[in-house]
Amino acid sequence: MYVAVKGGERAIDAAHEWLADERRGAPDVAELSISQIREQLSLAVNRVMAEGSLYDPDLAALAIKQARGDMIEAIFLIRAYRTTLPRFGVSAPIDTGAMRCDRRISATFKDLPGGQILGPTFDYTHRLLDFALMADGAVSPEVKEGGPTDAVPLPHVTEFLDREGLLQPEPEDNTPPRDLTREPLDFPADRPLKLQALARGDEGFVLSMAYSTQRGYARNHPFVGELRIGRVAVSMDIPELGFAIDLGEITVSECETVNQFTGSKTEPPQFTRGYGLVFGQSERKAISMALVDRALRWEELGEDNVGAPAQDAEFVLSHSDNVQATGFLEHIKLPHYVDFQSELELIRRLRAEAMMASTGPREAAE
């Protein structure tokens, strides 16, 4: 005798228990601490902070631990937590010109004031597995040269081009930007809104979009004018005090690209720019963001829409968010008995009618 499926509650409880057990892994292996994740998987922590839109390395580390290393799940945990936080105010714009840089490179000038600072990069490592790291208790080498600096602020590379008028100036605009997290996404989107969406967009998605422009889908000839990573102060105006106070410091990655120039009969040619800014050390994302930002500016810069995906703001912005994407993708795991049943009935009927029409009623009878 058929008994209607029951036991959803019990199944959920059992699944949760099993999940917790799997998360912990073998009990004879020491449990990961939050500080270990924060310190030793810091790039993962950075990505969770960037796409979770919340700068808190400890909570990001906790999310990674809880999510068993599933980055999108960790980002989701942070987002869901973030929405419950009361908003006390809005900080002043950060001044990346005053950044204390750990890394600062330019692909456009061999040397420049302040110099190129390679910083802690994978760039010139040979990608060979370092089996020494497998040995327990490996001692980290002492930093002999370099290391975090508290050097004087370094000028932005683009300033040198600005001075000559070679780079199209960005208009000064103090209008408060729209806030993606507080208002529904609405088109047409202005540049601040696009940058906001890209900054919290999925790294893989933004990377692929950027890559597509390099391969000719709205190519925009980017040079990395400057990539800088370092610490900046965050301050907030306190109306009661009448001045701004520093709340703390965050690490960000900033990329400014110098791109193909525009010009016309009335305007002499100028380079244009793309811009990327991301929490933490996330330079792949910052560069990708700058390329996509530049591609999205086609209309404003009077370029042709060649129909490339990266030029399509509605396409890019509607699909860049991995928490939205993963939720909707995975929801097809949920029961769809009812919809499927209605399609089943429809298709059976259509097939029966079709067979009836082609073979006559007798053979088609079921």
Partner 1 sequence: MSYNFAYLDEQTKRMIRRAILKGVAIPGYQVPFASREMPMPYGWGTGGVQVSAACLTPDDVFKVIDQGADDTTNAVSIRRFFEKTAGVAVTEKTTEATVIQTRHRIPETPLSADQILVYQVPIPEPLRFLEPRETETRKMHGLEEYGLMHVKLYEDIARHGEIATAYAYPVKVEDRYVMDPSPIPKFDNPKLESPALQLFGAGREQRIYALPPYTKVFSLDFEDYPFDPSKAAHPCALCGAEDSYLDEVIVDDAGGRMFVCSDTDYCASRRETGEAA
Contacts of 120 (CB under 8 A, 6+ apart): 102, 103, 281
Judged by CB under 8 A, which stretch of 25-33, 203-211, 303-311, 324-332 contacts partner 1? 324-332
Distance CA 179, CA 177 (A): 6
Output the smallest distance, CB 347 to partner 1, in A.
9
Using CB under 8 A, which of 184, 239, 307, 361 touches partner 1? 184
**Residue 79 found at the interface with partner 1 (CB under 8 A):** yes
- Number of residues written out for the chain: 366
Judged by CB under 8 A, which stretch of 142-150, 240-248, 284-292, 317-325 contacts partner 1? 317-325
**Residue 361 found at the interface with partner 1 (CB under 8 A):** no
Taking the least distance from each CB to partner 1, the nearer of 271 and 298 is 298
Please choose, from the candidates 89, 76, 119, 83, the residue with its C-alpha nearest in 3D space to the C-alpha of residue 101.
119
Taking the least distance from each CB to partner 1, the nearer of 185 and 234 is 185
**Residue 353 found at the interface with partner 1 (CB under 8 A):** yes
* Strand, coil or helix: 141: coil
Using CB under 8 A, which of 92, 238, 329, 352 touches partner 1? 329
Using CB under 8 A, which of 88, 122, 131, 187 touches partner 1? 187
Question: Exposed, middle or buried: residue 34 (CB in 10 Å: 0-12, 13-18, 19+)?
Answer: middle
Output the smallest distance, CB 76 to partner 1, in A.
7
Distance CA 274, CA 258 (A): 7
**Residue 199 found at the interface with partner 1 (CB under 8 A):** no
Side chain identity, residue 245: I
**Residue 23 found at the interface with partner 1 (CB under 8 A):** no
Taking the least distance from each CB to partner 1, the nearer of 151 and 354 is 354
Strands 223-238 and 270-279: what pairing?
unpaired
Taking the least distance from each CB to partner 1, the nearer of 171 and 335 is 335
Output the smallest distance, CB 186 to partner 1, in A.
7
CA distances from 288 to 14, 68, 256, 295 (A): 42, 27, 11, 11
Tokens matching residue 324 = 């939205």
Judged by CB under 8 A, which stretch of 1-9, 112-120, 250-258, 277-285 contacts partner 1? 1-9
Distance CA 83, CA 140 (A): 39
Using CB under 8 A, which of 34, 185, 301, 364 touches partner 1? 185
End-to-end Cα distance, the chain? 26
Sign of the four-CA dihedral 109, 111, 112, 116:
positive
What residues make contact with partner 1 under the rule CB under 8 A? 2, 4-9, 11-12, 76, 79-80, 82-84, 86, 181-188, 314, 318, 323-324, 326-331, 334-339, 341-346, 348, 350, 353
